[in-house]
């Protein structure tokens, strides 16, 4: 039985703390998958993030058609992992632009869901953190869609809500985040250098 | 699904937002005025949200079509690797990896060129909680300064802000491997172990609990040829000043997956119970166990394979074998290998561990943390005492000693642990593990079960009895607690709690246990009270009557004892205990006819038993007086059954005794002398056995015309009988009145034979 399967079962059995254990494993899996794909693809090829996440899902959780809770926790962890990867990447690039230590660099190209310009990503990340504190489940929806690349339908199924509810939440959350980002921008306007 | 609850205001905000969206612009203002009512800030927020919605354009645009996904460039490998730099350290190779962090061997270039260990949070893992934990580890390590703890040298962040810290690089191997590879003797291992204890003590004094002590976290390195153990990886250490947070639960779980063999019972419980320094003491106990025996108390693989729940239950409830026992139950080849790695041989090693070291380890491994060593230093000091041949503190507590000393050998019920249903009462289970010395005691439990089953059927009838079921459900936690207190030998507390429960049939197993305990501690009135209740609520249970009989016999109320024993036989004719007690009673009160009838009945019923204890007692009971020839054959067969148990039986001296007596009755005097002498070599001198043994010895010597020896043995018998054996007429014969009586009867016979010029016993 794989570690992930065991953890998913624990989650199903009500072991709340098992969720936190999932993140490092999922992250590891995504990283390995991405690395192996990148090694095999010709330069310039692109990876569909959804495909990556789904492939990781199949690999880790097997064909059990794993339980409701398990699926949600997995994709939640995948979204979180993706988020971290992206943020770190952006920060690294920022550091380089400001003349940080020389580093050996491998250039890779990966297609990943949604992200717009780097600035947007950082701002979104911060706004999302605040949003998470207010409404964890809606934030989860955003992450599933934006970082894990799930469609609205898939996200709705994963969260166990109706499609209509998912759409409603999406509309509200987008507005909230957009407003938050603009508020943040205007308050730092004077500090931008 | 539990969603995080919205604060009431965002719910409203959301609802109004959606409501407004449905309406055309023109009507919105009106709607908002109406919906937001007297709350201007609410209206402001909703208005802002609506505006944001209008202007958001392509922000987070719906991503249903893969073609719309953009390309980004990840311009660095997804993780650091050898050759990369972090700060002023050049990474050389990975030496360890955990869930959230990686440890590299790195080279520091300035101000000094040296090799270090660098631990950094993995790329992508820098969530707030992980960073906080990482920081906690760094601070924990920085606070410590001890030769046996790896030091923190530096700390910092990667260019992207991920924290790292740098530690002294410990080049060494796991402590268990080091000891085995160098075939360190037990004493040498203990010396290394004490240093580890000191290190942990230091951490505790700084307010740090390690929580993950295991061999791979203790490396042994050489300084000038001297082995030095170093504790590394305080990765999930917790500062005692902090409060339990989610991250603690996380790490508790992480540890759970990682090292179940070393996890303390309270950690396995994961109930959020405050973990304190004593969980480290437990882990040290496991380490000590492994250093001494090459095994952990519970097999690691078995634990993991048995599944989460079973694993936790085992750690919390199953009593591990003592180290010496574990060794002696190993396969020969394994034991030889283990001993070899400790520069010893099998019997020597077992002998070395038996006693002090056993007790020290078991004290550190106590399930109840209040019974463990308070501190790691306490453990180290007891080991030091052992090495210095002083008395160790870990000796079992004093009432255990009393139990050993005055063992009522056939009726002690050791109630230990808190597992396994012994009595099912109206649908709820009480967990008790009865370590039974006699099979009869085990049968008592089934008898109680039978009674309770009957009660259960009763409970199913009648409306008022439904109320009773509710009462019982409320009683369950009390019974469980009492069982646990009994299991840890806190008899007074257990009884105090028990007395709070009003008299009821469901308490019968406990009346039994308390009755037995009071007998053992010679508290006769209390014993009587408890047994009386057994009789009252379980009149078809022979145990109650036997208990009362014991109290009566102690007081030399022979009539009462006889009546009760007879009653016991009546209700449970297949139970052996009452019969053999009746035997000596009948002889003592001079009812020879009754004695002969009893002998016939018992030999008919139990003459063919293969149970060594039943065989021994039956034989003894009916060899008190010289038996008829035909019966002598059956009786000597029974003796053979007992003797077949061999010297490894805890009852061997008793079996030697009965064999001596049997040989005497058979006229094999020389053999009788041999066997009785053998019985006298027993480790413990028990007066109510030795008087009988000397008496038989005296008679046998006399028959061999060894006059001096006979006189000496008789004198010895008299001496012990005078000073250590309860006297008839004292009305306080003790729990072993049966053997006391037999001893005195044999002494009387020996006096007649040796001094009265009596002829050798008739066949």
3-state secondary structure of A173: helix
Distance, first Cα to last Cα, chain A: 54
Spatial CA neighbour of B263 closest among B376, B137, B370, B365: B365
Give yes or no for B48 touching A (CB within 8 A).
yes
Asked if B263 contacts B307 with a C-beta cutoff of 8 angstroms, the reply is no
Q: Which residues of B touch A172 (CB under 8 A)?
A: 14, 17-18, 49
- H or E segment and range at residue B57: none
**pTM flag (> 0.80):** no
Q: Does A21 sit within 8 Å of B257, measured CB to CB? A: yes
Is residue B466 over pLDDT 90?
Answer: no
User: Dihedral through CA B617, CA B619, CA B620, CA B622, nearest 10?
Assistant: 120
Q: A152 — contact with chain B (CB < 8 Å)? A: yes
pLDDT of residue A189: 55
CB-CB contact of B508 with B450 (8 Å): no
Tokens of B684: 């413990």
pLDDT band at B633 (very low <50, low <70, confident <90, very high): very high
Which A residues in the span 108-137 are in contact with B, Cβ-Cβ below 8 Å? 108-116, 120, 124, 134-137
- Whether residue B513 has pLDDT greater than 50: yes
Judged by CB atoms closer than 8 Å, whether chains meet at A136 and B83 is answered as no
More confident residue, B31 or B467: B31
Contact A21 B249 (CB under 8 A): no
Please give the structure tokens belonging to residue B257: 């997956």
pLDDT, mean of residues B217-223: 90
DSSP structure class, residue B726 = P
Query: Phi and psi dihedrals of B518, rounded to 5?
Result: -65, -35
From the list B263, B287, B264, the residue with the least C-alpha distance to B367 is B264
Residues of chain A found within 8 Å of residue B77, distances taken between Cβ atoms:
106
pLDDT in tens, B639-648: 999 998 888 7
Over the stretch A126-144, which tens digit does the pLDDT of each residue have?
Answer: 899 999 888 889 999 988 8
Quick one: pLDDT at residue B645?
84
Q: How large is the average pLDDT for residues B234-238?
A: 56
Could you say which of B56, B122, B308 has the minimum Cβ distance to residue A10? B308
B289 or B351, which is more confident: B289
Rounded to the nearest angstrom, the minimum Cα separation between B433 and chain A is 29
Q: Which residues in chain A have Cβ-Cβ distances shorter than 8 Å to B250?
A: 17, 20-21
Residue B454: pLDDT band (50, 70, 90) is low
User: Which chain B residues are Cβ-neighbours of A177 within 8 angstroms?
Assistant: 59-60
- In the prediction, which pLDDT does A173 show? 92
Tokens of B97: 């990896």
**Are B160 and A92 a contacting pair at CB < 8 A?**
yes
Q: What is the DSSP letter of B113?
A: -
User: In the 8-state DSSP scheme, what is residue B683?
Assistant: S
Contact map slice: B 242-261 vs A, CB within 8 A? 246, 249-250, 252-254, 257
Question: What are residue B72's DSSP bridge partners?
Answer: A110
Average pLDDT over residues B401-426: 28
C-alpha pair distances (Å), B59 with each of A127, A135, B52: 13, 20, 10
Residue B392, SS3 per DSSP:
coil
More confident residue, A60 or B479: B479
In angstroms, the CA A126 to CA A177 distance is 10
pLDDT at B97: 67
Q: B60 touching A, CB under 8 A?
A: yes
Q: Is B71–A101 a contact, with Cβ atoms under 8 angstroms apart?
A: no
Task: Say what the pLDDT of residue B227 is.
Answer: 94
Q: What is the pLDDT of residue B391?
A: 64
**Which of B155-164, B193-202, B549-558 comes out lowest in average pLDDT?**
B155-164
H helix or E strand, kind and range, residue B257? helix B246-258
CA distance B104 to B164: 11
Closest CA to A30 of A6, A10, A47, A12: A47
Which residue in B578, B581, B577, B550 sits closest to B734, CA to CA? B550
Please state which of the ranges B100-104, B118-122, B485-489 shows the lowest mean pLDDT: B485-489
Suggest the residue from B8, B17, B52 to mutate for an interface test with chain A (most A CBs closer than 10 A).
B52
B439: left (phi over 0), alpha (psi -120 to 50) or beta: alpha
Q: Report CB contact under 8 Å: A146, B250.
A: no
Residue B121's pLDDT is what? 78
Closest Cα in chain B to A3:
B257
Does residue A189 sit at the B interface (CB-CB below 8 Å)? no
Q: Which residue of A has its CA nearest to B58?
A: A116
Label residue B702 by pLDDT band (50, 70, 90).
very high
Q: Which of residues 52-71 of A touch B (CB under 8 A)?
A: none
C-alpha span between B344 and B357 (Å, rounded): 16
DSSP output for A26-58:
HHHHHHHHHHHHHHHSPTT----HHHHHHHHHH
Q: Which residues of B are less than 8 Å from A110 in CB distance?
A: 71-72, 74
φ, ψ of residue A172 to 5 degrees: the values are -60, -45
The verdict on a CB contact (< 8 Å) between A172 and B48 is no
Gap between the Cα atoms of B72 and B59, Å rounded: 17
**Chain B 77-106, residues with CB within 8 Å of chain A CB atoms:** 77-79, 83-85, 99-100
* pLDDT tier, B691 (very low <50, low <70, confident <90, very high otherwise): very high
Q: Which residues, including other chains, have CB under 8 Å from residue B452's CB and lie 6 or more apart?
A: B423, B424, B425, B426, B505, B506, B508
Q: Considering CB atoms only, which of A3, A91, A137 is closest to B3?
A: A137
Give the one of A24, A100, A149 whose C-beta lies nearest to B63's C-beta.
A149
- Predicted confidence at residue B18, as pLDDT, reads 86
Contacts of B161 in chain A (CB under 8 A): 91
pLDDT of B550 reads: 92
Please check whether residue B74 touches A, CB under 8 A: yes
The per-residue pLDDT for B131 is 73
What are phi and psi for residue B415, nearest 5 degrees? Answer: -100, 110
Residue B417, CA atoms < 13 Å, CB-side half-sphere: 18
SS3 B232: coil
Q: Is residue B507 within 8 Å of residue B500, measured between CB atoms? A: no
Give the residue, B708 or A42, on which the prediction is more confident. B708
Instruction: Report which of residues B462 and B755 the model is more confident about.
Output: B755
What are B733's two structure tokens?
């014969």
Angle between helices B508-520 and B439-460 (to 10 degrees): 150
Q: Whats the size of chain B, residue-wise?
A: 763
CA separation for the pair B605, B614 (Å, rounded):
11
**How far, in Å, CA of B546 to CA of B566, rounded?**
9
Q: Is B67 on the interface with A (CB under 8 A)?
A: no
Judging by beta carbons within 10 Å of its beta carbon (0-12, 13-18, 19+), is residue B751 exposed, middle or buried? middle
B18 touches chain A (CB under 8 A): yes
Name the residue of chain A whose CA is nearest to B258's CA: A3
Q: Which residue of A has its CA nearest to B73?
A: A109
Q: Is the pLDDT of residue B232 over 80?
A: yes
Mutate: best of A178, A180, A181, A184, partner B, most B CBs <10 A: A178
- Section B489-498 average pLDDT: 81
Q: Among A6, A17, A113, select the one facing B250 at the smallest CB separation.
A: A17
Output phi, psi for B117, to 5 deg.
-105, 130
pLDDT tens by residue, chain A, 193 residues: 456 666 666 666 665 556 666 767 776 777 666 666 655 554 444 455 556 666 777 666 655 554 545 667 777 777 777 777 667 666 666 665 554 433 333 323 333 333 445 667 778 888 999 998 888 899 999 888 877 777 788 888 888 888 888 989 999 998 999 888 888 877 765 444 3
Whole-angstrom distance, CA of residue B505 vs CA of residue B511: 10
The answer to whether the CB atoms of A175 and B53 lie below 8 A apart is yes
Contact at CB, B73 and A109, closer than 8 angstroms? yes
Residues 155-184 of A with CB under 8 A from B: 159-160, 168, 170-172, 174-179, 182
- pLDDT bracket for residue B35 (50, 70, 90): confident
pLDDT of residue B276: 81
pLDDT of residue B593: 92
**Tens digits of residue pLDDT in B518-547:** 887 788 899 999 999 989 888 888 888 999
ipTM of this complex prediction, to 2 decimal places: 0.72
Burial class (CB in 10 A: 0-12, 13-18, 19+), B501: middle
- The sign of the CA dihedral B664, B667, B669, B675 is negative
A76 in reach of chain B (CB within 8 A): no
Residues 298-337 of B with CB under 8 A from A: 308
Question: What 3-state class would DSSP assign to B674?
Answer: helix
Helix (H) or strand (E) holding B105: strand B101-108
Q: Write the pLDDT tens digit of every residue in B251-273.
A: 333 433 346 788 888 877 765 55
Where in chain A are the domains?
3-191
Mapped onto helix, strand or coil, the DSSP state of residue B281 is helix
Between CA B455 and CA B506 the distance in angstroms is 9
CA distances from residue B732 to B283, B508, B657 in whole angstroms, order as listed: 48, 27, 25
The least confident of B245-254, B489-498, B689-698 is B245-254
CB contact under 8 A, B64 and A152: yes
Contact A84 B74 (CB under 8 A): no
Percent of residues, chain B, with pLDDT higher than 70: 77
Query: Which SS3 state, helix, strand or coil, does residue B223 take?
Result: strand
Contacts of A10 (CB under 8 A, 6+ apart): A18, B308
């Amino acid at each position: 039985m794989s570690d992930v399967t065991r953890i998913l079962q624990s989650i199903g059995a009500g072991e709340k703390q098992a969720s936190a254990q999932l993140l490092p494993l999922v992250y590891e899996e995504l990283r390995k998958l991405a690395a192996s794909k990148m090694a095999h693809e010709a330069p310039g090829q692109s990876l569909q993030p959804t495909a990556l996440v789904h492939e990781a899902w199949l690999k880790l959780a097997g064909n059990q058609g794993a339980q409701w809770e398990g699926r949600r926790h997995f994709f939640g962890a995948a979204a979180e992992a993706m988020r971290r990867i992206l943020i770190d990447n952006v920060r690294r690039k920022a550091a380089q632009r400001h003349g940080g230590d020389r580093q050996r660099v491998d250039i890779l190209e990966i297609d990943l869901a949604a992200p717009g310009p780097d600035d947007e990503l950082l701002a979104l990340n911060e706004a999302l953190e605040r949003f998470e504190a207010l409404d964890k489940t809606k934030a989860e929806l955003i992450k599933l869609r934006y970082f894990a690349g799930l469609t609205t339908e898939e996200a709705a199924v994963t969260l166990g809500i109706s499609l209509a509810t998912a759409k409603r939440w999406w509309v509200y959350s987008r507005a909230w985040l957009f407003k938050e980002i603009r508020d943040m921008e205007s308050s730092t306007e004077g500090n931008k250098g | 699904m539990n969603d995080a609850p919205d604060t009431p205001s965002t719910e409203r905000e959301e609802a109004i937002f959606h409501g407004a969206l449905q309406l055309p612009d023109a009507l919105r203002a009106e709607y908002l005025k109406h919906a937001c009512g007297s709350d201007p800030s609410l209206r402001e927020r909703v208005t802002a949200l609506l505006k944001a919605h209008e202007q958001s354009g392509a922000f987070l645009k719906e991503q249903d079509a893969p073609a719309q996904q953009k390309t980004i460039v990840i311009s660095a490998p997804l993780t650091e690797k050898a050759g990369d730099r972090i700060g002023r350290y050049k990474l050389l190779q990975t030496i360890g990896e955990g869930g959230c962090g990686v440890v590299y061997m790195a080279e520091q270039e300035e101000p000094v060129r040296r090799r270090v260990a660098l631990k950094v949070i993995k790329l992508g893992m820098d969530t707030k909680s992980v960073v906080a934990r990482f920081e906690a580890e760094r601070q924990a390590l920085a606070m410590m300064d001890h030769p046996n703890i790896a030091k923190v040298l530096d700390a910092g962040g990667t260019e992207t802000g991920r924290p790292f810290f740098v530690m002294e690089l410990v080049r060494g191997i796991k402590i268990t491997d080091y000891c085995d590879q160098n075939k360190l003797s037990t004493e040498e291992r203990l010396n290394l172990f004490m240093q580890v204890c000191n290190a942990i003590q230091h951490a505790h004094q700084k307010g740090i609990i390690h929580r993950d002590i295991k061999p791979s976290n203790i490396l042994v390195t050489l300084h000038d040829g001297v082995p030095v153990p170093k504790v590394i990886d305080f990765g999930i250490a917790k500062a005692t000043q902090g409060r339990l947070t989610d991250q603690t639960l996380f790490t508790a779980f992480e540890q759970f997956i990682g090292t179940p063999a070393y996890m303390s019972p309270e950690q396995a419980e994961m109930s959020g119970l405050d973990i304190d320094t004593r969980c480290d003491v437990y882990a040290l106990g496991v380490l000590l166990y492994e250093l001494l025996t090459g095994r952990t108390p519970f097999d690691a693989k078995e634990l993991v394979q048995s599944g989460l729940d079973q694993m936790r239950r085992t750690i919390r409830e199953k009593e591990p074998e003592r180290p010496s026992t574990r060794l002696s139950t190993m396969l020969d080849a394994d034991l030889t290998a283990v001993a070899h790695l400790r520069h010893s041989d099998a019997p020597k090693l077992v002998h070395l561990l038996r006693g002090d070291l056993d007790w020290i380890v078991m004290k550190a491994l106590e399930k109840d943390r209040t019974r463990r060593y308070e501190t790691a230093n306490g453990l180290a000091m007891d080991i030091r005492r052992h090495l210095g041949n002083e008395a160790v503190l870990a000796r079992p507590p004093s009432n255990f000693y009393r139990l050993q000393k005055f063992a009522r050998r056939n009726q002690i019920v050791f109630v230990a642990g808190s597992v396994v249903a012994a009595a099912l009462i109206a649908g709820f289970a009480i967990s008790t593990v009865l370590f039974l010395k006699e099979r009869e005691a085990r049968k008592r439990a089934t008898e109680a079960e039978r009674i309770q089953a009957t009660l259960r059927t009763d409970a199913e009838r009648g409306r008022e009895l439904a109320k009773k079921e509710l009462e019982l459900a409320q009683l369950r936690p009390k019974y469980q607690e009492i069982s646990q207190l009994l299991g840890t030998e806190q008899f007074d507390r257990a009884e105090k709690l028990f007395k709070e429960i009003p008299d009821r049939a469901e308490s019968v197993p406990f009346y039994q246990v308390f009755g037995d305990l009071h007998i053992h501690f010679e508290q006769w009135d209390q014993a009587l009270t408890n047994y009386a209740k057994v009789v009252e609520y379980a009149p078809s249970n022979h145990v109650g009557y036997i208990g009362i009989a014991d109290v009566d016999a102690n007081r030399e109320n022979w009539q009462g004892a006889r009546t009760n024993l007879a009653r016991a036989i009546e209700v449970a004719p297949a139970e052996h205990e009452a019969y053999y007690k009746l035997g000596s009673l009948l002889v003592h009160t001079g009812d020879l006819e009754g004695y002969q009838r009893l002998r016939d009945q018992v030999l008919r019923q139990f003459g063919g038993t293969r149970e060594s204890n039943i065989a021994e007692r039956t034989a003894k009971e009916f060899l008190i007086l010289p038996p008829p020839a035909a019966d002598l054959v059956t009786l000597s067969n029974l003796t053979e059954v007992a003797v077949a148990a061999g010297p490894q039986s805890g009852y061997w001296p008793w079996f030697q005794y009965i064999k001596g007596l049997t040989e005497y009755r058979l006229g094999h005097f020389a053999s009788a002398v041999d066997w009785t002498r053998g019985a006298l070599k027993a480790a413990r001198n028990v007066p109510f056995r030795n008087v009988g043994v000397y008496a038989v010895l005296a008679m046998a010597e006399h028959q061999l015309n060894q006059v001096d020896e006979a006189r000496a043995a008789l004198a010895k018998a008299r001496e012990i009988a005078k000073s250590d054996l309860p006297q008839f007429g004292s009305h306080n014969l003790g729990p072993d009145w049966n053997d006391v009586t037999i001893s005195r009867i044999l002494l009387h016979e020996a006096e007649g034979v040796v001094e009265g010029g009596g002829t050798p016993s008739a066949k």
